Chain A
Amino acid sequence: MTPTAALRLVFHFDDGDTSDLALGTIDANGIIAVGKVADGQEDRVAMLVEELNASETVFVRSGSDNPDAVPGTMKKTAVLRGMPGFIDALVETARRFYGVELRFDRAELGGGIAAAPPAQFAGAANDGAFDLEPLPAGSGVEDS
């Protein structure tokens, strides 16, 4: 079975705010499946999933490194689904054209188990300690 990771589709607004669009999974070949979808976003999510799942190739953009190219020439490198680098390019494509972040744990996608996220500590127990001041100077062997 192809490894999958839990996926959260996060919409990024122009002002930097975010909202969840949907929850689902993504597999190591970049195939997305969605479960819960935010109210009113069904069409947007369906279109994104349909188009991205149908893409056998996605592209990585950069400036051209061809020495004979006219300055400003744009280069696009095709990455085939299933090949290394596809997932990264897919994530970038979702960001560029749909304004959507595909949020998931890479370790899970690689068939591994994700490391634990950092734990929180409300820290009430830090309010004071059962400590005494150090014993006064001059009480040791060498300083007596």
Chain B
Amino acid sequence: MGLRQLLGLPPKNKKPVAPQAPVEDKGAWTKVEQQYQTLIKDPRYSGLPERLKKPLGVAWTNASMLALHGKFNEAKEVLQPALGIAANSAVAGAKAPQVFAEAAKRASGLLDAMALLGVPADHVKAMRGEFATAKQDEKTDIIAAAEAMAAFAEKLRTDPQVIAAKAARDKVLSERPGLEKEIEAALTTPPETEVAARALRQLANAAGLIGACTGRLDYIGAVKQMEICRKAIAELAIEAKAIAEAVKLRDEVVKARAKLDAKVNAARVIYGPTPESEAVVAAFKAVDDGYYQAIKQKDYERAAMEVKRLGPAADRVIELKALCDEDVRKREERNALRKELRGLFGQKNATPAVTQAMVEIETKLNTEVALFDKAMGAAEHETAMAKGNLLKSLFKDYFKAAGEAAGPLQKRTEALDAWNKSVKARADALSSLAPKAKPFKDAVDKANDVRNEFANLFTAKDFDKAAEVLKRLVQALDEVDRLAKLDDQMVKDRKEALDAFNAIKSRVIAIQGAKIATPEFRTERGEVDKLMAEVRTLGESCSPGGKDKVAELEKAVEAAEKLKGANDGKVDTKRQETLDILRPGFTEVTKAISGMVPFLPYSKALSDQLGTEKDRINELFKKGQYDEALEAFAILKGRLKEAKEGEAGWQKAADESRDDVTSRRNAIDADFKRLAALEKITPQFTTLIEAMVNAEKAFGVPFKASKWPDAAKLIGGLEQAVAGLKAQEGAYNTQKADLDACKQAETRSKAKVATAVTIAVTLLATQDIQGRLKTQQAIYTRTMPAFDFKTARAAWTEAERLLTLWDAALPGDQAAAPPEINEINKRWGKLKPDYDIAYSITAVPKTLAPPIGALRKANSAFFAAYNARDWTAALDLIGKLEAAVAALAPHKDENDNARLAAQGPAADALDELKKTSVDDLKKKPMKERLELLDQLRGEGRQLTDEERKAQRQLYASLDYDPDFKKQDESRRGLLIEEMGDDDEVRAARKGWAGKSVDDRMKVLMKVLTAECRIYNVPAPEVRLFNVPPGDEGFFSNSNGTLNLNTHPESGFSDFKEALDTVLHENMHNLQHVMTIRLEEGIIVPGDADFMQAVIFAANFAPFGYVPPAENKKVEADEPLKDSYEKQPVEMHAWDTGDGVSKGIIALGEKPKKGVSL
């Protein structure tokens, strides 16, 4: 039956026909009705959800109504289709649990398989969520649940992620064995080109990760690593020819280098004690470094060139041996003197200064020893010897003075003995007392005061007085002991008195607050005041009897209270009479005091006295002591005339003061004007000049305001400042003359020297002049900014003398020059403008970093050849330098634009850092802090002082990344355990200084190797050098070497220090390796050392390192103190060096906590 029929509407598009009476088939209806009744009783139907039963229910209602009206046919037509649908639902409902169970089982199996296939966990989690949703209708609507579960199972079957994971698993299972063989073969490739080394690092890392990913069923991850491996293998294949050539060249280079070992090692332990010899050593070091740098960069062509230069460079250094030995001899001579002085110091320490003469010599000794140390540190032999001998003579004087001070020494010994034997322990014990009663506390304070008085007299060498004070101290300590026993009793006495007092306090206040009118009340009131004062005295001193005194007070209060009624309400005529006298009198006093103001401070004494007396009279008046008040006022009034009489004297004093100040100011005026005009040529003179000018400004304020006494106070300071600067005027004039001479020479010759030291020359004689010029240039370049104008002037004088020789030698040199030199000079001259542009370009955007790196490399190679006068090589290399410049210089606009764009964010970052404290920075997420740092350095240029401060601020907020810290502490623990238990390391501790360098290195190498193994970092090449201390050691990232100073006076001779240096410097090796691994994608997000590697990389980035000199700029700023040591890379290296060496040195069972001896 259609809907229209059901609604009783005519069929569509059919013309209405005349109605005919239908023949109603009741039997058919009855049959359908019976079917209905049977179905609804069937449990398969009754168990259906209501939503499925509802249509049949509606149909039955409608059909029943029709049947009731005898419309059986229509009733049947309504019920029969609904009956069919319901019957089908009943059948389906019966099957639904089974359908649901099967679909759920299928889906669950697929979910489990997803995990095993390495489908990403978040996707599996989402699918499990959907599975739970599909299951939720199971109880209420099994048919819907079955349909949903079936659909979900189908969805899982066709899930693209599952399909991809399955494909990845199949790929891993089928291709991994073959690939592993390829990897194994590829890993045997020598890492002898930069490309090969990088590809091998990535291959080794990815190969390990294939297994790791497979192990945790991450087949997709494993396939990714397999792809990285294939890419690296392909790169190695392309590089094969270059690798083979590099291996051949490397073998030749290493062989050639090995032949120079003895020579190079001999040269390394020679240092240059003079600027000239230092330059020779520096040239050798540059070649020695250059070799390792080239080897590290796999640049064997350059390494071969460096080896060629290394022999001659080492020979030149070996020629300096005699000079070096002479310096060693002088150093030994100085050290012997220092040893002798040390003995004298020990002797002096045992002989304290007890007389003024000894103190004066001691002061001189302290001054001179600082100068001696300074000269020793700077290896200034003559000065050190002179200062040392002066010290010896001062010691002699000191001991002579000590010999004459037998009396005071004896007294000192007696005082000290008395103190140590019977007083010190008692006096020290005072700090552990906790007095409760004030008198006891006062006694302790007094004893401490006496002790300090004794200590001060002892320090001031006044032993007679000190002995007397010591006796007083004993008495004071006895008093402390006495009161200690009474402490609790005193507290009790005071409490009782206080409680009794508090009980009557309000009554006392009422009496004292009443206005006195009758003489009787005044008398009693006076008694109350007197007793109140006694109660206070007894109470505060915790004396016994306080309570009794309060009882007396109470009686007096009672007596006063009885009289108070008669007193209150009466007019106090006496008070009024007194007031009538005092009020105009006080006005007069106030006027007199005001009249004295212009004569301050001369009038101050009288003014203060009058004011104080007036206040006292007022207090008497308040207490009702009118007679006393009037009596005191009469005296005060008499003194008022003093105010008038004093005026002339005060005026005279003021005039005298003005004349004195004016004349003193005039006396120094000429000096002041001349000195104020001095140029601030050094920080020392800047300070002196500014101090003097500021003193004059301070003086000028009261002087101009005619405040003579104030001006008189300041004139002395101004005179001192003028005199101080005047005393230095001679030194100023000398330094100024030196500076002027330097400036003139600079104008005349700076450009000429600059040219002379850069052009290539041929003849040895010309080279010698050029070398000397370079030395002088280095000296004046270093000493001018250090305000050492004397040395700078000498360097300029010598440089100008050398320029004369240079001018004479140059034509001959040019005539003898091989053609390469002229060609190099010509090409260099042409290249220079673009070279300067290229060198001004910063690594912004970051895409410019590779061409900048290429320029630096080409530059370094060219100048290595150039400085070694290897003209053929230099000519070859200038082409590479030209190419590098040509590749970079055109990016100037791009760099400028990028820097311009970075300026805004950099300024914002600076503002943010300036207004944020270190503590607040610590609250920001690490990522945000590193972004701030990145923005701050966005321009890629050298930072300003303000920006560097902001950078230090940010570093101070950085702590270790927690994941890295955990890993690092575990590695430190392993290293300590391994090395602490190592017999060889333990044995080396004793007699370390007496062992040979080789024996010591054997042990240090063992520690270094263990550290490298545990930290998973390649062991660096270790190079030894030998220079007078103090550079102790360093890790050079440019050539991957760890360098140690083996000089006998260095920390290398101390087991603990040598251990610390090696452990510390090797951590810089680790940090650089982590940075490279981060750049190459070997350390990735999620790795335990990822965030720390990012921090290290930020610290190593251009301009990111904080040099030790910056520490000096932050002394006043506590959180930024020790910024050098607190920057991430140094903090980590220092912590490791200290932590591990402490762990090895201080092995043994730790003490129990909380032990107090």
Contacts and interface: CB of A to CB of B under 8 A. Distances in A.
Interface of A: 1-3, 8, 11, 13, 17, 19-23, 27-29, 36, 38, 40-41, 43-44, 47-48, 55, 57-59, 62-78, 80-84, 93, 96-100, 107, 111-125, 127-133, 135-136, 139-142, 144
B619 to A, nearest CB: 8
Contacts of A99: 1142, 1146
Top 5 nearest A-B pairs (CB, nearest first) are: A63-B1108, A116-B448, A113-B455, A73-B1034, A124-B436
Contacts of B1109: 65
9 contacts: A8-B1157, A57-B1054, A72-B1105, A124-B436, A125-B491, A125-B542, A135-B622, A140-B621, A142-B618
Given A21-B1151, A82-B345, A141 B586 contact: yes
A81 B491 contact: no
Contacts of B515: 139
Given A73-B1033, A80-B342, A130-B540, A29 B349 contact: yes
Given A72-B1068, A125-B542, A141-B586, A28 B532 contact: no
B437 A98 contact: no
Interface stretch (B230-238, B438-446, B799-807): B438-446
Nearest to B1036: A70
Interface string B506-545: 0011001101000000000000000010011001101000
The secondary structure that dominates the A interface is: loop
A48 to B, nearest CB: 8
A77 B1030 contact: yes
A83 B345 contact: yes
A13 B1138 CA distance: 14
Nearest to B1154: A19
Nearest to B629: A141
Interface centre among A124, A127, A131 (most CB of B within 10 A): A124
A2 B346 contact: yes
A141 B583 contact: yes
B1149 interface: yes
B421 interface: no
Interface residues of B, number: 114
Nearest to A41: B1151
Contact of A75 (B373, B445, B494, B1032): B1032
Given A13-B1153, A29-B346, A96-B1138, A136 B435 contact: no
Given A8-B1157, A44-B1146, A63-B1108, A136 B1031 contact: no
Given A1-B350, A81-B342, A112 B1107 contact: no
A113 B1155 contact: no
Contact of B1030 (A28, A75, A135): A75
Contacts of A59: 1051, 1054, 1057
Contact of B513 (A17, A48, A113, A135): A135
B400 interface: no
A132 B508 contact: yes
Contacts of A83: 338, 341-342, 345, 369, 373
A78 B377 CA distance: 10
Interface in B1083-1140: 1105, 1107-1109, 1111, 1124-1125, 1129-1130, 1133, 1138
A113 B844 CA distance: 64
B451 interface: yes
Of B1057, B1133, B1153, chain A has the most CB atoms within 10 Å of the CB of: B1057
Contact of A132 (B438, B509, B618): B509
Contacts of B1151: 11, 19, 21, 38, 40-41, 44
A57 B1150 CA distance: 27
A79 B623 CA distance: 72
B1031 A75 contact: yes
Nearest to A60: B1030
Given A71-B1107, A98-B1145, A124-B491, A119 B431 contact: yes
Contacts of A96: 1056, 1060, 1138, 1141-1142
Contacts of B434: 120-122
B774 to A, nearest CB: 14
A72 B536 contact: no
A127 to B, nearest CB: 8
A119 B349 contact: no
Interface in B445-470: 445, 448-449, 451-452, 454-455, 458-459
A128 B451 CA distance: 31
A113 B999 CA distance: 48
Contact of B1031 (A21, A38, A64): A64
A139 B622 CA distance: 5
Contact of B1129 (A19, A72, A122): A72
B1061 interface: yes
B1032 A116 contact: no
A19 B443 CA distance: 33
Given A77-B1030, A116-B427, A132-B508, A63 B1124 contact: yes
Contacts of B916: none
Interface string B869-895: 000000000000000000000000000
B1150 A11 contact: yes
Contacts of B427: 116
Contacts of A70: 1034-1036, 1043
B505 interface: yes
A44 B445 CA distance: 40
A72 B1142 contact: no
B1141 A97 contact: yes
A106 to B, nearest CB: 12
Contacts of A115: 451-452, 455
A130 B1030 contact: no
A119 B445 contact: yes
B1029 interface: yes
A55 B1129 CA distance: 30
B1049 interface: yes
A121 B515 CA distance: 41
B20 interface: no
B1156 interface: yes
A19 to B, nearest CB: 4
B1033 A114 contact: no
Given A36-B1157, A118-B431, A140 B618 contact: yes
